[in-house]
């Protein structure tokens, strides 16, 4: 399977668990059982040794389920543990330097917020996917810029690489984003803030099997 062919479906982004990493690992296991095919390890807290250990554990778990592990904003960590890729923001290192660190086979994704020109530039620089959002009110990033759903359709017409939608996505509103053109739905609180990550992911997975259609 080609790299871009794996970049579709539900994209789970972790958040730290108040009971520790073992509890988060259990949540990720549930998400994978529920149908997540991509997991992003996102942890902004200091602690390089801890993050390397946690990243390696998540990578092993993801590969047990034939899923990808993406590291948030840390190409060095991604390279060190052999992760499947890295996700960067526009304030992070440019794509060329990230590619030099992680290698040609790794997935590189970039946040493009509500800016299609930024996404086109990222594609031309070698990004493997772009992410737009937030589309709905977000608990994780309440002050993030607002993106219009129409942007997803414009992006699909302008880009050759997969498109991620992020920001306040739920099983109730996610179908409209898939219908508009999103290849992946990136979800944080809707999975890791839910009482049962497996059940939550199954609900999201149904959106890709039977996406909402406009009324006839």
Active site (catalytic) residues: 42, 111, 141
Which residues 6+ apart lie within 8 Å of 204 measured at CB? 10, 34, 35, 171, 174, 185, 187, 190, 191
- How many Å apart are CA 36 and CA 162, to the nearest integer? 16
Alpha helix locations (H) across the chain? 21-33, 48-64, 75-81, 95-102, 116-125, 150-158, 174-180, 189-192, 197-209
| Helix (H/G/I), strand (E/B), else coil: 118 | helix
Q: Would you say 95 and 127 are in contact if contact means Cβ atoms under 8 Å apart? A: yes
């Amino acid at each position: 399977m080609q790299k871009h062919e794996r970049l579709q479906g539900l994209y789970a982004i972790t958040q730290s668990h108040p009971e520790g990493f073992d509890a988060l690992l259990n949540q990720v296991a549930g998400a994978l059982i529920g149908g997540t095919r991509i997991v992003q390890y996102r942890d902004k807290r200091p602690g390089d040794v801890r993050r390397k250990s946690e990243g390696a554990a998540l990578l092993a778990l993801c590969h047990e389920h034939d899923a990808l592990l993406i590291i948030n904003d840390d190409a060095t960590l991604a390279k060190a543990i052999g992760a499947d890729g890295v996700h960067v923001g526009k304030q992070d290192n440019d794509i060329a330097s990230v590619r030099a660190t992680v290698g040609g086979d790794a997935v590189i994704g970039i946040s493009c917020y509500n800016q299609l020109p930024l996404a086109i530039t990222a594609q031309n620089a070698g990004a493997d996917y772009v992410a737009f959002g937030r589309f709905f009110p977000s608990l994780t990033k309440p002050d993030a810029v607002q993106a219009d759903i129409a942007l997803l359709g414009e992006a699909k017409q302008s880009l050759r690489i997969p498109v991620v939608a992020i920001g306040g996505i739920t099983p109730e509103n996610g179908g409209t984003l898939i219908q508009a053109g999103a290849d992946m739905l990136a979800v944080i609180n809707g999975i890791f803030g839910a009482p049962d990550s497996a059940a939550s992911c199954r609900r999201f997975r149904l959106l890709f099997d039977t996406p909402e259609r406009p009324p006839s």
